[in-house]
Amino acid sequence: MSGIDVVAVGHTIVLEAVILGNVYYPDPSAFDTGRLKLLQARELVA
């Protein structure tokens, strides 16, 4: 995505966080696994 620093999306369940370009997929399926991923914006653009 041109002109956008980073995008964090959910509802795409992954075992570990995935970064593709500037798109971050952090969803570990909290409803199913009990694991919740919290993000700090400054960590994504560092």
30 assigned to some structural domain: yes
Return the exposure string of 10-38: e unless at least 16 CB atoms fall within 10 Å of the residue's CB, then b: eeeeeeeeeeeeeebbbbbeeeeeeeebe
Which pLDDT belongs to residue 13? Answer: 75
35 assigned to some structural domain: yes
Whole-model pTM? 0.60
Range of the domain at 24: 7-44
* For residue 21, pLDDT beyond 60: yes
2 assigned to some structural domain: no
Total domain count, the chain: 1
Q: How confident is the model at residue 28 (pLDDT cuts 50, 70, 90)?
A: low
